[in-house]
Amino acid sequence: MFFKRSFQGVKEIVGVSKKTEDNEVNQLKIELQNTIKKLKKASSSYSKLPDAGRSSTVCHMQAMKDGKDLLGEGCCCQECYSIFEEIDMKGHLYGMKIKEEVIEPIQRLVEACTIMEKRTKTLGQRRLDMDAAHDKYESIAKKAPEKQNGLAEAETRYNEAKDNYDYLRNEIVTDINKCIEQVKIQFPQICVNCMKSYTDYINELNEIWTKVPNIISSIPEVDLKQEIPITPNEQSMIVLENVRAKKNNDLGGFVNDDFTTQTKPTEPTTPVMTTTQPTNQFSTVTALYDYTAVDAGELSFKEGDVITVLEKSGDWWSGELNGVKGIFPSNYVN
């Protein structure tokens, strides 16, 4: 059957056989393919939502956990960690709702449209069978009556092939229209489900966040820009002269020369500049999502790209990808 259909296709290409054109089916096939393409793109975007909100929360949880490890049990970091832990749980529930009420309905639409796309391929095969049977019937019918051997059998085969095509063709036209109509009907509700789920998530976060002001107010405010109160180098006992001066002061100004060693001041030597070969100490991170640069100097990347980190500073880091350097948001990478 495969070779028979292939032969029929070649005959149509070279113009030996006339191809049956079904403009309605052809137009629906194009519309169906475009719908599938857009559905898959939407499905890919919505599939990122469950983890998008949690990635930032997980980073905050780790930061607070490290703070708790530093300060010990019962510190403010432990309370803050509990806040983010609660937020993360809400994020998990939000992700489950998105999967159930948004992602799965889109996937069902994609599946239905994909089934119809496969059926159009079967319809194309039946069209080849029908045209081949028609060619066979016509080739016999054009002969003189006394040479029309097998005409009735050829006509029967053509009618069967035509029925096989027509019945499937009519079903496909109806079902493709139904699929496209369902996409137009269901997708607005899918968008509504997404917004409702996110609204519920935000409201729950706001409720959890009402605990934060009390935590903040319970911690004394400290000026983090003030100098760390350690002994300056010039006054430190790391300088031997300071040791002798302190010892002299502690002894009331008396220093026993028998127990001290006087050394002759040495001439200051000219410092020698040394150079060391820099070593590549850069770390790498993996992109969690796609990011397209908005301003000049930013770095664009795709999900899964491995970026070399050149400098970490706040929320925007400096990095290099494929020879291109730029800054990028740190919460987009892991």
pLDDT tens track for 232-269:
888 888 888 888 888 888 776 554 544 444 443 333 33
The residue from 176, 193, 217 where one domain ends is 217
- 274 occurs within a structural domain: no
Q: What is the mean pLDDT of the chain?
A: 85
Q: Is residue 323 part of a domain?
A: yes
- Single pTM value for the model: 0.62
Residue 7: the pLDDT is 53
191 in a domain, yes or no? yes
- Number of domains present in the structure of the chain: 2
Same domain? For 311 and 188 the reply is no
* Chosen domain end from 193, 217, 241: 217
| Burial of residue 177 (number of CB atoms within 10 Å: 0-12, 13-18, 19+) | middle
Is the pLDDT assigned to residue 75 strictly greater than 50?
Answer: yes
Question: Is 249 part of any domain?
Answer: no
The whole domain housing 60 covers: 11-217
Q: Are residues 213 and 80 in the same domain?
A: yes
The enclosing domain of 299 has a CATH number of 2.30.30.40
In this predicted structure, which of 45-59, 149-163, 170-184, 193-207 has the lowest mean pLDDT?
45-59
pLDDT at 209: 94
Task: Tell me the CATH number at 129.
Answer: 1.20.1270.60
Of the residues 198, 217, 236, which one is the last residue of a structural domain? 217
Residue 278 confidence (pLDDT) above 60 = no
Determine the pLDDT at residue 294: 85
Tell me what the mean pLDDT of segment 19-48 comes to: 93
